[in-house]
Amino acid sequence: MSVRKSTLAMARYRGVLVTGTDTGVGKTVVAAGLARFLRGEGLDVGVMKPVASGAVESEAGERVSSDVVALMTAACCSDPVEWVNPYCFIPPVAPALAAELEGVGVDLGRIGSCYERLSSRHQLTVVEGAGGALTPVAGKLSVADLAQRLRIPALIVSRAGLGTINHTVMTVECLRSRGVECLGFFLNRFPRTPDLAERTNAGRIAAITGVLHLGSIPDLEDPLDSGFAEHFLRSPDRERLREVLLRAEPEESMRPRVSGPRSGEGRRSGEAAKP
């Protein structure tokens, strides 16, 4: 099922959650990198950070989340920031707690309608979670609960070293227990000279969970710029990443011809074409 560059790429999913085994593990690097990688494959990509905390206030009095800026830059996003990031809090704690400290209720229905707007505009929307899969985003509801409500599968970003088998397997179990499909995992910040644990972790996680290892990402010089996409373009892992997220669409000349009225035919004169 290889997706060759010569065919038009189509997204297999309307959206995908980028979650991780912990905060600071590299979710933004992977989510922004994926947005650039998929744009390079010809896709129109949307981005979303449903709930951000630890934002700062600009001189103009606007709240700025560095994750939101990184995602929007990577996707060349011109969507309203209120759709991309409906909730943005200052306290640097878990989103549900930050919301409570600010006296705000996080409404998953509002997040859902922002996601619907974005995913109706774009072929695939990359959604960055917050913290790990069980980090609370609205009261007791977690990132995993949000993915289940948005009906999107997940990609997991994990650390490379000792301890990551436990964290990654727990993350997979937690997502699956809510009916969220796990498409694959990345080991991030993979060292140049890996130790025994680093060399064997990916294989063991894949064997235990059956989840695909999508790649081990080294330390990148420009992690929020083109580093991730360039790494995958050079790596044999790129085919697996393509196959997980994309499928090939027959080119125009190869599509079956549909008989019947062409676009615009069959309408009475003066009747407007439907958008």
Q: Out of 21, 28, 148, 168, which residue is the one contacting Mg ion (CB under 5 A)?
A: 28
The binder of Mg ion chosen from 19, 26, 32, 67 (CB under 5 A): 67
In the block, which residue shows the tokens 């996680």?
Answer: 205
**How many CA atoms lie less than 13 Å away from 89 in the CB half-sphere?**
24
Closest CA relative to residue 202, chosen from 192, 191, 212, 194: 212
Q: What are the backbone dihedrals phi and psi of residue 214, each rounded to the nearest 5 degrees, phi first?
A: -90, -5
Minimum distance of Mg ion from residue 108's CB (angstroms): 20
From the CB of 138, what's the least distance to ligand ATP, in Å? 17
**Residue number, 28 or 148, with CB nearest to Mg ion:** 28
Residue 36: DSSP 8-state: H
Q: Which is nearer to ligand ATP, 219 or 251 (CB)?
A: 219
Residue 49 annotated as catalytic? yes
Q: Which parts of this chain interact with ligand ATP (CB under 6 A)?
A: 20, 23-29, 67, 131, 188-189, 217, 219-220, 223
Query: Closest separation between CB of residue 247 and ligand ATP, Å?
Result: 28
Angle (nearest 5°) at CA 250 between 212 and 186: 15
Q: Which residue is nearest to Mg ion (CB)?
A: 28
Mask: binding to Mg ion, 114-153, rule CB under 5 A, as x and -?
----------------------------------------
Q: How far apart are CA 29 and CA 14, in angstroms?
A: 21
Taking alpha carbons only, the member of 126, 4, 133, 7 closest to residue 70 is 126
Which residue lies nearer to Mg ion by CB, 56 or 162? 56
For 186, the token pair is 């990345």
Enzyme catalytic residues: 49
